[in-house]
Amino acid sequence: MSDILENESKSQSNCSQKLQQEQSLSTQESNNAGPPVSICSTPLTGNPYFTSVVVKSQVEAPYQLVVPAWFRKSLPKATIQAYLVHKGKTWEMKYYGESRLKRLGCGWKKFALENNLKVGDGCVFELMDDDKELRLGVQILNGQIPVEFIRLGSAEKPIIID
């Protein structure tokens, strides 16, 4: 766990430096580029992961996150405690692995509210290497488009996100 926190601390330091550089670049650009947006994140470790664009059912009742079918084979087929880790904080919730709809619930609402998730935000959930419990590292990207991508697109040449 201390390795994770140490890596998170280093990553946050690098993020601060990158954000300062982005802010400096943005003052040199046209006002049409919008506010600087940090695109920093902790590198993935090579473990299985899935991404999710936040939808209404995740930030309003029933407050749950459905796990993609292809990712479920990496998870237990039982209802167990699960833990989401984001920015050094851990949220406890239930993973319903034996129900028809495999999902995170009972605790997901607290995670969504405390992290101010909104429809359109993106999340990356990476399975953390721990045989004793289900732990997922989470990275959150708010719904803003990073400046680097804004520069690439135009009305004649739109940005296509796969």
Superfamily of domain 42-145: DNA-binding pseudobarrel domain (2.40.330.10)
Per-residue pLDDT, 25: 33
Share of the chain above pLDDT 70, in %: 62
**Cα dihedral angle (69, 118, 38, 91), rounded to 10 degrees?**
-70
Residues 95-148 pLDDT 10s: 999 999 999 999 999 999 999 999 989 999 999 976 678 999 999 988 765 555
- pLDDT band for 43, please (50, 70, 90 cuts): confident
Domain locations in the chain as residue ranges:
42-145
Tokens in use for 95?
């993973």
Record the pTM. 0.65
Quickly list H helices, the chain: 2-28, 56-59, 69-72, 108-114, 147-152
Position 17: which residue type?
Q
